Amino acid sequence: MSATATATHSPELTIDATTERSARLFEPTGLTLEDLILGAWEDLLAGGPAECPVCGGTLVPHGLEGRCNDCGSRLA
């Protein structure tokens, strides 16, 4: 058994694809999750507090991990 798809009409383009570009899923315009995690690690390894990537609270160094004082999350 086989199937064939055929177009019954030609779709009209309303936007000129060469001049206007829509936002892409994998082209972030801000900080990525990776950027946030790496930044937090850099701050923690320097011995200071860091911004929690989960809630925006304060991560503090605790042994070999960071712990958030506000939401309780851990960065290990």
pLDDT band at 29 (very low <50, low <70, confident <90, very high): confident
Question: What are 1's two structure tokens?
Answer: 């058994």
> H or E segment at 68?
strand 65-68
pLDDT > 90 fraction of the chain, expressed in percent and rounded: 54
The predicted-structure confidence for 35-70, as pLDDT tens digits, reads as follows 999 999 999 999 999 999 999 999 999 999 999 999
CA distance 41 to 4: 54
Query: What pLDDT sits at residue 30?
Result: 85
Task: Give just the sign of the alpha carbon dihedral 32, 34, 40, 45.
Answer: negative
Prediction pTM value? 0.60
> H or E segment at 75?
strand 74-75
CB 44 within 8 A of CB 61: yes
